[in-house]
Amino acid sequence: MKCARCQAENREGRRFCAECGAPLSLACPACGFANEPGVGKSRLYWEFIHSHRTHGWLVLESGSASYGKATPYLPVIDLLRAYFQSEPRDEPRKLREKVTGKLLSLDRALEPALSALLSLLDVPPEDPQWERLDPPQRRQRTLDGVKRLLLRESHLQPLLVMFEDLHWIDAETQALLDSLVESLPTARLLLLVNYRPEYQHAWGGKTYYRQLRIDPLPPESADELLRALLGQDPGLQPLKQLLIDQTQGNPFFLEESVQTLVETRVLVGERGAYRLATTPPSIQVPATVQAVLAARIDRLPPEEKRLLQAAAVIGEEVPLALLQAIDLRFDLRTSLFPLGELERLIGYLREAEGLARTLDDQRRLGWVSIYMGHLLWSTGHSTDALTFVQSAQAIAQTLQDFRLQVGANFYAAWCVR
């Protein structure tokens, strides 16, 4: 392990540099946050893993869901899919190639773990010896295989493994974490976890485990947050005090309450410069964050409620690629255009464009460009329409997508008339 101060090499597991005495980077290789929801655990993690402190690290993230306790290894599977860069559309053959290639290039000594890892990812191992193992043996092979993979990767580069919401964890993932924690002092691996207070673990006595707590904001900090959100208007002071009292300093509740007041036109202006549009006695602040979110859902247009309902069937967290599959925006195009609701239609198409760019889904981006070109041409903006359609033609040519080429060429002909 290299010292950040003097660049001297130190043996694995040292806490302080043998040359200059500086603390080494992983003096506390396991860290947990035990807090109530909404105080900022996930935001703190996000800020940390996107900071300069993790530059040059491999970061693997996963988390549990309320419905996941009955599914063994669910967070581990998500972690492995990220590590092996698995895509939702990967066929078993493609995924087998990815796992085998990455595993053996890392260390051929990991080959005995291949069958266990493939099995976790729902790829048939094609290993007669694996098939002959009884369930307890498979379980042990699986736990050992995942642990060895992570530890070996940490020899190649510093590794940050993050598990969120351990209060919903399944028993097999818990067993993996318990085993992994035992090996942390000898690895360049930082384990970050968070959980609610009811979660229990056996790591508290470890000298290299640290539990941190994030409390709700004290009144002065909550007031500072509200100044950033609302602004300095003296007329807002009674509202600020009402929000602080109502939310008890929970930052998520504070932000959602402010958003509700903006959406209901109690506040007008822009972030950091709001003013009241009504008198304080008539202001109603929802009593709970659940009430805030329920009221927001009630204010959604019918089409967006349908999208939310479809996503809710899938679970608490919906992968963006899966949300794309149920996205109603293209369907809305056919219903909004005849009604003349062009501004809303442009908004939906812009959202669809953002999704496509985020996913780097060129085919979908091509269709967005065609639909946008059609809309702009229909409203008399032929030059802008042609720009979108030509973009679609270029994408179709690159992808060799016949349907996309036909659509793009059709609207291109209209745009040059």
pLDDT of residue 384: 81
Instruction: Tell how strand 273-276 and strand 267-270 pair up.
Output: antiparallel
Per-residue model confidence as pLDDT tens digits over 107-156: 999 999 999 999 999 998 889 999 999 999 999 999 999 999 999 999 99
> What is the spatial distance between Cα 22 and Cα 4, in angstroms, rounded to a whole number?
8
Residues 6 or more apart whose CB falls under 8 angstroms from that of 382 comprise 376, 415
**Average pLDDT over the chain, rounded to whole?**
80
Per-residue model confidence as pLDDT tens digits over 84-95: 999 877 888 999
Contact in structure between 248 and 277 (CB atoms under 8 Å)? no
- Whether the pLDDT of residue 328 is over 90: the answer is no
Half-sphere exposure of residue 401: CA atoms within 13 angstroms, side-chain side: 19
Contact in structure between 158 and 25 (CB atoms under 8 Å)? yes
Residues 6 or more apart whose CB falls under 8 angstroms from that of 347 comprise none
- In this structure, the dihedral spanned by the alpha carbons of residues 134, 138, 140 and 146, taken in order and rounded to 10 degrees, is 180
> What is the spatial distance between Cα 85 and Cα 102, in angstroms, rounded to a whole number?
10
Helix and strand numbers, DSSP H then E, in the chain: 18, 7
* Helices 74-83 + 171-183 axis angle, to 10: 60
- pTM of the prediction? 0.62
- Whether the pLDDT of residue 160 is over 90: the answer is yes
> What is the spatial distance between Cα 15 and Cα 201, in angstroms, rounded to a whole number?
24
Domains of the chain: 30-90+141-212 (3.40.50.300), 219-298 (no CATH), 318-415 (1.25.40.10)
* Helices 382-399 + 402-415 axis angle, to 10: 160
Contact in structure between 217 and 225 (CB atoms under 8 Å)? yes
> What is the spatial distance between Cα 59 and Cα 244, in angstroms, rounded to a whole number?
36
Q: Give the residue-averaged pLDDT of 353-371.
A: 77
- Whether the pLDDT of residue 415 is over 90: the answer is no
Token representation of residue 107: 């260390």
pLDDT of residue 137: 95
Question: Judging by beta carbons within 10 Å of its beta carbon (0-12, 13-18, 19+), is residue 250 exposed, middle or buried?
Answer: buried
> What is the spatial distance between Cα 388 and Cα 386, in angstroms, rounded to a whole number?
5
pLDDT of residue 286: 67
Per-residue model confidence as pLDDT tens digits over 219-231: 999 999 999 999 9
Contact in structure between 255 and 297 (CB atoms under 8 Å)? no
